[in-house]
Structures are given as C-alpha cells and as structure tokens.
C-alpha cells in the first residue's frame, strides 16, 4: 500500500479583500521531508502556515495530513494530529521556566500527563540544546535561546510535521549555524519540516527542496540551488540577491 503524503494542500485559496494570499495553491510533502519556503514580504507564507495549523480558514481547498482531511479541524485538534508550529513573534510564558514552558506544550498539545509529559519535555530540551537552561525563567533568555525555546515548545507537542516561521531572523552568523545544527538533527531523526526563512543560506544547508511563494502561488519548486537561480525568483528580489545568500 502506498503511504499518503505527510501533508497535501489541494486547491487552497484565501483572500483578505483585494489581497490574495493563496491562489488555487497545491503542495505535497512526503513523510519526513524537509521543505524550505522563500518569497518576498507579503507573499502569503505565514498565512499558508496559519491555514495548515488551523489558525486561518481557507476560502476554498483542502488540507490533508497523512491522508486525512483536516480542513475543518480546529488548531488544537491539528496539534494532536501531529502538526507543531512556531510563530514569528514568540510568546512564551515569560514567568515560567524553560522546562515548564515545554511541559505545558507536552501536556496541552500532546495530551501527556505526569512522567510521560516530564520525559517528553526533558527529551525536547536535550534535542534543542536547552537542558542547561531548564530552570531559567523564559523571560531571561537571549534571542537565540528564545528561538530555541520556540522550536522546543513546538516539539513539546510531539509533532510529525514541524512548521518553522523565520526562526533564524535576527541571529548572528554563529547563532544561525547553531540553530541549523539543531534543525538538521531533528530532520535526521525523521521529522517532517517546513521552514519559512529569509536567511536563505540557513535553508540551503538544511533542506533538499525549496519552493518560492509569490502572489499566493508556488512560482518555483525544486532543489534549493535551482530555485534560487530561477529567473522568476530572482526577479522577485530587488537586485537579484536574496538576504543571506551571498554568505
């Protein structure tokens, strides 16, 4: 029997008045695949995540997870079904510790209790390099640590599909390299990943496939190097050089 794709978007459409964020969009992601998404500001990238995670209802079209139609499912049901996401603006519980923040996600997102929730949270802290900061209040973290915590909170919900929204933004080059290592390991462990990122070179080091979104549609889809060399993609970026690509 053929395995269903991890994620399939079929004829997805969404507009806010005159602004179209998805235009009959189709996309399929295999089990354990890592996909990068680039595209100019306002291309509809975050809106796409919102439609996958259930924060935004498409006007038309279907979202399939593991062959199941989840289009009508609310966000918490999609989290239970295996979709974990980060947000561009992280909002951890700043008065809670790093461990407690992830524990809440294991409890609420994955429905785990007691020892199971504890061991899931500890495992996630190890995988994201936050174990030494387990007892630090989230409000005291540096930007890199906050970005790691955002990934950790998404992982706490026990996803099979992880949606990363610009987690490398604002970091120094060595910090980007550290984050890339964390994400590469998650992917190597079999997690399906979709990563929206303006820091293009971080994507190139992590994913084997990239798409470029513009005007609510996929304008290029393929190997990262080929997508970045695509004439349509280069035209979308002023000067033809994308942020971070030169390094």
Ligand X SMILES: Nc1ncnc2c1ncn2[C@@H]1O[C@H](COP(=O)(O)OP(=O)(O)OP(=O)(O)O)[C@@H](O)[C@H]1O
Interface residue list for ligand X (CB under 6 A): 16, 19, 21, 39, 41-47
Q: d(Cα 82, Cα 6) in Å, to the nearest integer? A: 10
Q: Which residues of 116-155 are buried (b: 16+ CB within 10 A; e: fewer)?
A: ebbebbbbbbebbbbeebbeebbeebeebbbbbbbbbbbb
Whether 24 and 217 have beta carbons less than 8 Å apart is answered as yes
- In the complex with ligand X, which residue's Cβ is closer, 87 or 99? 87
Residue number, 36 or 158, with CB nearest to ligand X: 36
Q: Please, what is the angle between helix 114-127 and helix 143-156, to 10°?
A: 140
Q: Which lies closer to ligand X via its Cβ, residue 16 or residue 93? A: 16
The least distance separating ligand X from the CB of residue 88, rounded to whole angstroms, comes to 6
Nearer to ligand X, 19 or 208 (CB): 19
- 54 vs 62, 79, 80, 84, 92, CA distance in Å? 12, 9, 12, 11, 20
CA angle 58, 164, 36 (to 5 degrees): 85
Nearer to ligand X, 39 or 90 (CB): 39
| Distance separating alpha carbons of residues 32 and 125, to the nearest angstrom | 21
Minimum distance of ligand X from residue 62's CB (angstroms):
19
- Minimum Å distance from CB 75 to ligand X? 15
Supply the minimum distance, in Å, between the C-beta of residue 16 and ligand X: 3
- Minimum distance from residue 33 beta carbon to ligand X (Å): 21
């Amino acid at each position: 029997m053929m395995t269903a794709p991890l994620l399939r978007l079929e004829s997805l459409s969404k507009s806010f008045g005159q602004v179209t964020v998805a235009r009959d969009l189709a996309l399929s992601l295999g089990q354990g695949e890592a996909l990068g998404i680039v595209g100019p500001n306002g291309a509809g990238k975050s809106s796409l995540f919102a439609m996958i995670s259930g924060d935004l209802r498409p006007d038309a079209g279907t979202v399939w997870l593991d062959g199941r139609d989840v289009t009508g499912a609310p966000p918490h049901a999609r989290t239970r079904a295996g979709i974990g996401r980060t947000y561009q603006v992280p909002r951890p519980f700043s008065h809670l510790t790093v461990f407690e923040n992830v524990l809440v996600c294991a409890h609420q997102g994955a429905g785990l209790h007691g020892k199971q929730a504890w061991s899931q949270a500890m495992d996630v802290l190890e995988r994201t390099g936050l174990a030494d900061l387990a007892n630090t209040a989230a409000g005291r973290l540096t930007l890199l640590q906050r970005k790691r915590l955002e990934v950790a909170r998404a992982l706490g919900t026990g996803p099979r599909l992880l949606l990363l929204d610009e987690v490398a933004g604002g970091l120094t080059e060595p910090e980007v390299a550290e984050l890339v290592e964390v994400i590469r390991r998650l992917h190597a462990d079999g997690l399906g990943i979709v990563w929206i990122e303006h820091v293009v070179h971080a994507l190139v080091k992590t994913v084997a496939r990239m798409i470029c979104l513009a005007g609510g549609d996929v304008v290029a889809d393929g190997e990262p190097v080929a997508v970045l060399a695509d004439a349509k993609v280069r035209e979308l970026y002023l000067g033809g050089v994308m942020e971070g690509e030169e390094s």
